[in-house]
Structure 1
């Protein structure tokens, strides 16, 4: 699974300003160094906490029973990329009958095998699946911050449909500390296959 990567938060951007303010008020170089270090430590702690909660949630829902979530429902499927006997990537497709779309989910490639076209092949598999099953569009949502991920979706024909800064990851508690030290941007993509 592609893990969500946090984007700079207000606390992260304010760290240099707080350091200057701290020095102006205390005239202590030690305290001035500790303030940004403390803020970065809190950011690391809450980012790690949110990502681990997200993974725990995923591993106890759809990824705990792939057959039930992706193989049994009509119009849904799950693929695994294997190289030299090792699983190196995964992708899922889940039907949304209400609007005749299929959602591309859980695309992930082992970091040691990225840049070899595996993600593109997995993405194409979902597109082929959507065409065979007469879906009008393929949709996806991502919290990826890497430019390469967005370029991959665009190279497959997806159009960026917008983003939101108010996305709540599964497993987030929405505590004040989480909102202050961890934020993600959620991007929506769509590939129209045919008009309804």
Structure 2
């Protein structure tokens, strides 16, 4: 898989992946994604989006926001097309974001995931993240596990 910086041409593929991967959350009230979501997100200062491309096709993405001196960086979204899961692509995207984060000021990066999302939990543990908090009914009426990685 090749990992590229986001380009607006990726928008259509990414919003389809996001709406599929996050369909449970969308059914519970999360705002669905549109073709311009990633373009708007990429234009925000301190936001970075990387796209996984396999066979010339966008198959996944990761969204990172830079933190500051007292605010951790954060992985907001990580998604891989269901047809390409189990091949290490999610972990590759996460490593790309972490490689970038290493050069930033914040000493901590965090992300939240559902307790039942065993694939994301495995990526977190494999890359050295530690569970930092268990947040009851935190988002869309469901629990979240917050993971953190420290430099």
Smaller-chain TM-score bracket: 0.7 to 0.9
Q: 2-side partners of 1:157 and 1:185: how far apart?
A: 22
Moved over 6 A (4+): none
RMSD: 2.4
Pairing of 1:65-144 with structure 2 (within 5 A): 65-74=37-46, 76-97=47-68, 99-143=70-114
CA gap of 1:165–1:152, structure 2 versus 1, over 3 A, is: same
TM-score normalised according to structure 1 size: 0.59
Question: SS of the counterpart of 2:122?
Answer: helix
Give the structure with the larger helix fraction: 1
TM-score normalised according to structure 2 size: 0.75
Question: Larger Cα Rg: Structure 1 or Structure 2?
Answer: 1
Q: Is the 8 A contact 1:109 1:118 kept in 2?
A: yes
CA gap of 1:144–1:4, structure 2 versus 1, over 3 A, is: farther
Question: 1:100: Cα distance to partner?
Answer: 4.1
Q: Is the 8 A contact 1:162 1:189 kept in 2?
A: yes
Q: 2-side partners of 1:79 and 1:144: how far apart?
A: 25
Question: 1:80: Cα distance to partner?
Answer: 0.6
Q: 1-side partners of 2:63 and 2:26: how far apart?
A: 25
Unaligned residue ranges in structure 2 (runs of 5+)? 1-17
Q: Is the 8 A contact 2:131 2:147 kept in 1?
A: yes
Q: 1-side partners of 2:26 and 2:43: how far apart?
A: 31
**Equivalenced residues, count:** 132
Question: 1:109: Cα distance to partner?
Answer: 0.5
